[in-house]
Amino acid sequence: MRTLPVIYLAAGRGSRLGDLTADIPKAFVEVGSRPLADRSFEYLRAAGFDRIVVVTGHAAEAFGGHDVETVFNERWESENNITSLWQVREIVKDGCTIVNCDLLFEPELARRLAQTVGSAILVDDELAVDEESMKATEREGGLDRLHKALPLDTAVGEYIGLTRIDPADGPRLAEILEEFIAAGNTQVYYEDAIEALAREQTVRLERIGGTRWV
């Protein structure tokens, strides 16, 4: 099974990190003396992903020394990350994987992402969710809702920021992104577009409880 291109969403400043991200993207915040991006790229490539497309914004030049493609999101400062995914809609159209840049995860999760079939989001079904969690609910074996504002007691688990969009569903997701932008819905998360896709196509919940990520 061929691996799909990785869309690595890294446009935001990470304002809640304060001075840590004043001059660098939040993907370059170090954990254990290594930037998040370095770890993610290493694990993704080891799992077989050979094309990584980074959507940049704040401190975009930081990615210049990495063997990745970059696409600059001119709207990064005024709009939400749905515009970042929209910027690479031509890649989305053919199927892709989506990786949040502020995610620290073990190599096993990169392998799980590479082995995932169909369209699916990776969900931790063992970790307790809180108000800040991107919560997922389920209906008839697939994703129903995906949002931070959902009631805690309805959630199956927390979406961890790893997604696979099957090539069969890529064209429709690209259309949904266009529809959001055309309607001026630019202050929402890209997860809203995935939720919209799930109303028409099956988006599975790939349960990864027990793995390590933050």
The tens-digit pLDDT sequence of the chain (214 residues) is 578 999 999 999 888 888 889 999 999 999 999 999 999 999 999 999 999 999 999 999 999 989 999 999 999 999 999 999 999 999 999 999 999 999 999 999 999 999 999 999 999 999 999 999 999 999 998 999 999 999 999 999 999 999 999 999 999 999 999 999 999 999 999 999 999 999 999 999 999 999 999 9
For the stretch 27-54, pLDDT in tens is 999 999 999 999 999 999 999 999 999 9
What per-residue confidence (pLDDT) applies to 5? 98
Amino acid identity, residue 173? L
Task: Give residue 119's pLDDT.
Answer: 98
Distance CA 104, CA 87 (A): 24
Q: What pLDDT, on the 0 to 100 scale, is given for residue 18?
A: 87
pLDDT for the residue numbered 2: 73
pLDDT in tens, 178-191: 999 999 999 999 99
What per-residue confidence (pLDDT) applies to 1? 58
What pLDDT sits at residue 210? 97
